[in-house]
Copies of this chain bind each other. A is one copy, B any other.
Amino acid sequence: MRSVLVIGTGLMGTSVALALRARDVRVHLRDVDSTALRTAAALGAGTVAAPTEPVDLAVMAVPPPLVGRVLADVQAEGVARHYTDVASVKGEPWEEAEALGCDTARYIGGHPMAGASRSGPLTARADLFEGCAWVLTPTADTGNDTLNSALELVALCGAVPVLMRAAAHDRAVALVSHAPHVVASLVAMRLEDADDRAVSLAGPGLRDLTRIAEADPGLWTAILSANAQVVADLLDDLGEDLRQMVDGLRAIASADEAKGRAGAETVEGMLRRGRAGRTRIPGKHGSGPERFEAVSVLIGDQPGELARLFADVGRAGVNIEDIRIEHATSKLAGLVHLSVATGLTTLLKKALQARGWQHR
């Protein structure tokens, strides 16, 4: 692959461009937003000059509802030999492309499973896709050269290709991303008009649960819109589960003891199934859920405390799999929860103790 046109210079497009530039691919940039375009070019993502001959691949990094229209336009120009996109929904854009009479043999849908909570070219980076799954959704129409061209793009970005049908992809992302996003937003929305005193009791659990609700509402409306049917069906199922849970709780709150016991069984059964579902979420490196144990260490709030802690952890030869910092609400201190592979906790605790850390 020698030349690529990146259409749309937000976070995703600019990151693709930077990754390709790092592998010496010639990159042309295009965006209707001239500020974003100039910013991406200034970051070294490519040239704003239009290609003088068809490029090997055009990558559309535009919101899902625009993919079909943009594809029709650029194919009419004949700007590239092959076409792909990085939008987070795959079914509807493909249908639109087909309805608009696009050459679907030369277009393959793509979706790198990477992102950030902020958007725009300034948040882009060449390593955004390193090690990430990058879904490609070929159809019976897709030409071999087009598929290979997309596979080369994925490899150049350091990602791992995953071939799926568009419909299966859309159901999967609705399940693991779109519906959870809506739920996080709805839980956070309930805090909008809540008492100050009530909100002040919120802890790290709620903070983690609602983190994704910080994302750009405009962009997420576009994402949800392009997968609206699938997400709505899934949220309906979730609403049904919610009703069952409410029925269980109301049975518990009733005066009837037998009903109460049945209600408690419903509630506990659903919490158990939730815990079982949770264990299926893959851990690091796509290696499936692993079991780690946490060692919690009390630290002060001065610069250098974490450095001192991690230096001591490093000396113990123990690798930290995950970190969570829990700030106390009023003292200048916090707890650092260090996840380490099961079996290394004793070693780590001894090493920390020897160096004067308070842990458990």
Contacts and interface: CB of A to CB of B under 8 A. Distances in A.
A127 to B, nearest CB: 6
A267 B286 CA distance: 32
Given A243-B239, A270-B186, A212 B205 contact: yes
Interface string A267-287: 110111111111011111110
Interface residues of A, number: 136
A181 B205 contact: yes
A158 interface: yes
B190 A177 contact: no
Given A241-B189, A282-B199, A319-B301, A232 B250 contact: yes
Given A185-B274, A205-B181, A242-B238, A285 B331 contact: yes
A135 B237 CA distance: 37
B242 A131 contact: no
Contacts of A249: 224-225, 228-229, 231-232, 235
B252 A245 contact: no
A142 interface: no
Copy number in this complex? 2
A179 to B, nearest CB: 7
Contact of A328 (B130, B277, B319): B130
Given A310-B306, A311-B310, A330-B286, A183 B209 contact: yes
A321 to B, nearest CB: 8
Nearest to A311: B307
21 contacts: A115-B203, A131-B333, A132-B329, A164-B197, A172-B198, A175-B191, A175-B198, A177-B205, A180-B187, A186-B238, A188-B274, A189-B273, A190-B237, A191-B277, A210-B274, A213-B275, A228-B249, A228-B263, A284-B327, A284-B334, A307-B311
